[in-house]
Chains A and B, each alone.
Chain A
Amino acid sequence: GNSVTQMEGPVTLSEEAFLTINCTYTATGYPSLFWYVQYPGEGLQLLLKATKADDKGSNKGFEATYRKETTSFHLEKGSVQVSDSAVYFCALSFGYGGSQGNLIFGKGTKLSVKP
């Protein structure tokens, strides 16, 4: 079946450190891939997305590249800030023509950034 696997957390980094959160997927077909972020006490917000192989999604200094050959969509940021502390979810979807439709989520990775 279709699934998403994320690296286990929590991840604790110092401010300005480099961030990588690994995400791999199993899917029948070619899904769209997403990273969502959940700040404390809030709902999920879309951080970035990629809809086909080799696409790179980027937003707020975060990047992720859709790698079909390794079925991966790792999230990276060159210099994290305390305000990046949140839970990050990798997700996939097979919605119509790029619509997000039904999302399949990973378990989430909690990031804490220390000043």
Chain B
Amino acid sequence: NAGVTQTPKFQVLKTGQSMTLQCAQDMNHEYMSWYRQDPGMGLRLIHYSVGAGITDQGEVPNGYNVSRSTTEDFPLRLLSAAPSQTSVYFCASSPTLTGVNTFGSGTRLTVV
């Protein structure tokens, strides 16, 4: 089925470890974004991209890096994980000018 695929679904990291959360979409959407969801906080935008080679910061970018080398993929990197990054992470994509944001099913990350 077409959509947004996130991997892994669950991950436990130790403080200081690095990892990459993967996000891929097969809908040829130009716009992709990463959100984190914390209890009582709703979803907050981390980084977004309006097309291959273009990324920008959202509301809570510190501690995260992104790149967009292809239209399909938008990985989120944690260079040195901290307990404050324990959260559920959602990737989303949408067409540039119109349409609906399609969300992935999320990655639940725990940093101990």
Interface residues, chain A, with chain B CB atoms under 8 Å away: 4, 41-46, 49, 89, 96-108
Other than A43-B104, A107-B40, give 18 A-B pairs with Cβ distance below 8 A.
A41-B105, A43-B4, A43-B90, A43-B103, A43-B106, A44-B101, A45-B103, A46-B100, A46-B101, A97-B97, A98-B97, A99-B95, A100-B94, A102-B45, A103-B35, A103-B43, A103-B45, A105-B42
A89 touches B42 (CB 8 A): yes
Q: Which residues of A contact B95 (CB under 8 A)?
A: 99
| B83 on interface, CB distance cutoff 8 Å | no
A100 touches B42 (CB 8 A): no
B10 CB to closest chain A CB, in angstroms?
Answer: 11
- Classify the interface of chain A: helix, strand, loop or mixed: mixed
| B74 on interface, CB distance cutoff 8 Å | no
Total residue contacts A-B, CB cutoff 8 A: 59
B105 touches A107 (CB 8 A): no
**Considering the chains assembled together, what is the distance between the CA atoms of A12 and B13 in angstroms?**
36
**Considering the chains assembled together, what is the distance between the CA atoms of A45 and B104 in angstroms?**
9
A6 CB to closest chain B CB, in angstroms?
Answer: 8
A99 touches B31 (CB 8 A): yes
